Structure 1
């Protein structure tokens, strides 16, 4: 990594540390931790010359920027491209890429729909689904599910992908046919928040097919009665949102309701498989399942970065950011900031991980984060009930993405409990 920490920034901008490393380069996406550390140490605000953007990586300042929607707007796009000055080449999210007042009504509808009443209703259903999935997985090995027998499986394909793709599309009201398109659609969308690099080019041939399927399944007629999708359309009937907004609000769940949860679940399974002492503690104290999940989101940060666009009022540690500049918020770096966390690189169930920014913060924080927590609680509880020991069975393999810290494969070995 090449750094230049003197001189600085574009003409007319503040004198700032400059780093010329590409945050979307293959090496950084494979292992973001060295760049994260360099950004934190460089200063509260850093200029990234590779893309003519600014970066914020310390927890204090990422947290402040996420709260300051007036200074760091989302409505110009949460990707690299500035839709304040460039024509939008993709549909913008009705929630993530809208600021008040346009953001308010869709947010209210989803907050009510995905709130505590829904979570209570889904808990029993998702608990049963998780137990069924774990039971089936553990009885397919040579030991046929007997106590003490060992089963090896891929935690990504068998659990982290399979469970959300089973329960969330059901709750949304999607048919069985085609729901496998949700992951590649969301993967492409989150890649598109970065530059048009080889990752975007790799998935571009399927973009039209995936987008057309999603658009078709945002319509009322394609959604099962009683699911989240038809409830959103009912909100349009009541006048809570407009009929034009309804498909965009449904689409926001397609984009964010599966992929980020998949890789958050993968993160906690990877963390526990590579930290057997923490798995043993979780087995001894199953009430720590929520802590295990939150600590994994802090430690691994499935959503690594999000862009904002500076307005005239944007400040970082008292320094003005040029109006219209793109600012990349490094959520993963903030979540391992030693100024905020003791021993931040450790995965530790003794820690209170509250305050992490893995789900964002402020008015644009992830509206479905409590459903992700519920999915994790159901799945981890089912595993804790049946698995005495969990460890890695081979090297894990990442899936590179411009926004996510994602996984293709996590081989694990589970010994079935008495």
Structure 2
């Protein structure tokens, strides 16, 4: 069967500003569609997106997980050895990074993270309206994450600019990417220097990667690039993840009160926020061979845009998927991806969110929105740039 052709640009700024308004149309059009405006295919149904993410042999990442095809064009920076690599290279580098980013190391720092979150939240409760993005969603990760990696103090704000540019670069070379690249020169240079062995502090995850190079698990150049992967994967997922869950709970006061009554639901609340309003909206894959999807044939070398966020609300998979419900079982959601390329920073995001939510549950009786939420446009993310809120003491 011919693939449905849509006169629809997934990177139109109006679409990026309100992606959820278009997801029904994309899902209902078929298991796979073709976007004439971008010369690429797309999938938005849960079953098809999850199957493509699992089948890395057919839907490869080595030619880039953005619109740019690395077989035809040069990327703006050296490709990631994790996100933009397939086995056997990916197996080697991911195995190394999984040993460094271990659960035991995160559990070891969790008491410190909880105390940092409590101190931060205590200053905000009862202090009147404030913007929760810089004051909480950015401030808390920037207080704990660079130390975990072993970055030397100073200049951490460059991480936000660098990450935003990295995610914009997965889309077309549009106005958003051009603006990001113009603003990112200093941040990119800072990140490159910060990841070098001589600039890292001992005992952090970054130094552990370089010590793996000493053992022959990777080269010195690969070590620099792998440390950089931590900085891309481990910050925006947490900043936007914390902002999104706070926003979701403020929009649904009944859910906030349920969480206060049952703090054990904290982990479910964060997972539901990732399903309901995920940080990452889309990623690309490239077909390595001709493949059929729902009776439609895709050629080899085709770019396929996978709509994670649309899949996460697909009524074929989720009962009343547009509803935010912290008691829901979210097993299988695609907020951190799926398969071998799922987000490296997901456990960092989960542990940081647990610490932040725990501090809020302990002291906050009401999350009160005090103004409109602002979302800066990004080719890949649906971030929150401004979240005016007031934390009313319990």
Q: Are positions 1:351 and 2:338 aligned together?
A: no
Per the alignment, residue 15 of structure 1 pairs with 2
Q: TM-score, normalised by structure 1?
A: 0.92
Stretches of structure 2 lacking an aligned partner (at least 5 in a row): none
Contact 2:265 2:327 (C-alpha < 8 Å) held by counterparts: no
Query: In the alignment, which residue of structure 1 is the partner of 2:265?
Result: 288
Correspondences of 1:5-404 after superposition (within 5 Å): 15-138=2-125, 141=127, 151-404=128-381
Q: Kindly indicate whether the alpha-carbon contact (under 8 Å) linking 1:74 and 1:98 is maintained by their aligned counterparts in 2.
A: yes
Q: Deviations over 1:251-293 (max 9, x none)?
A: 1011111012111111101000110000000000000110010
Instruction: List per-residue Cα deviations over 1:326-385 (Å, max 9, x = no partner).
Output: 000000000010000011111011211111101001100012211110000000000000
Moved more, 367-376 or 378-387: 367-376
* Aligned length, in residue pairs: 394
How far residue 207 of structure 1 moved from its aligned partner, in angstroms, is 2.6
Question: How many angstroms does 1:31 deviate by?
Answer: 0.5
Q: Which is worse superposed, 184-193 or 240-249?
A: 240-249
Q: What is the DSSP-based 3-state SS (H/G/I as helix, E as strand, rest coil) of the residue aligned with 1:407?
A: coil
2-structure distance, mates of 1:236, 1:153: 45
Please report the RMSD computed on the Cα atoms of aligned residues, expressed in angstroms: 1.2
Q: Counterpart in 2 of 1:148? A: none
Q: Distance in 2 between matches of 1:376 and 1:217?
A: 25
- Going from structure 1 to structure 2, the CA distance change for 1:153 and 1:44 (only over 3 Å counts) comes to same
1:36–1:333: 8 Å Cα contact kept in structure 2?
A: yes
Measure, in 1, the Cα distance between the counterparts of 2:109 and 2:299.
46
Work out the CA distance in 1 between the residues paired with 2:258 and 2:148. Answer: 32
* Closer/same/farther in 2, CA of residues 275 and 318 from structure 1, 3 Å limit: same
Task: Give unpaired runs (5+ residues) of structure 1.
Answer: 1-13, 142-150
Name whichever of 356-365 and 32-41 sits farther off: 32-41
Which sits farther off after the overlay, 154-163 or 376-385? 154-163
Cα deviation 1:148-206 (Å, max 9, x = unaligned): xxx32212111111111111011011122111000011101110110111111222222
Q: Distance in 2 between matches of 1:89 and 1:205?
A: 12
Task: Identify if the C-alpha distance between structure 1 residues 122 and 107 changes in structure 2 by more than 3 Å, giving closer, same or farther.
Answer: same
Partner of 1:4: none
Q: 2: CA distance between counterparts of 1:113 and 1:393?
A: 41
Distance 1:239 1:110 in 2: 14
Matched position secondary structure for 1:54? strand
Is the 1:44–1:316 Cα contact (8 Å) retained in structure 2? yes
Instruction: Give SS of 1:175's match.
Output: coil
Q: Return the TM-score normalized by structure 2.
A: 0.98
Closer/same/farther in 2, CA of residues 131 and 96 from structure 1, 3 Å limit: same
Q: Note if contact 1:268-1:293 (Cα within 8 Å) is conserved in structure 2.
A: yes
Deviates further, 28-37 or 68-77: 28-37
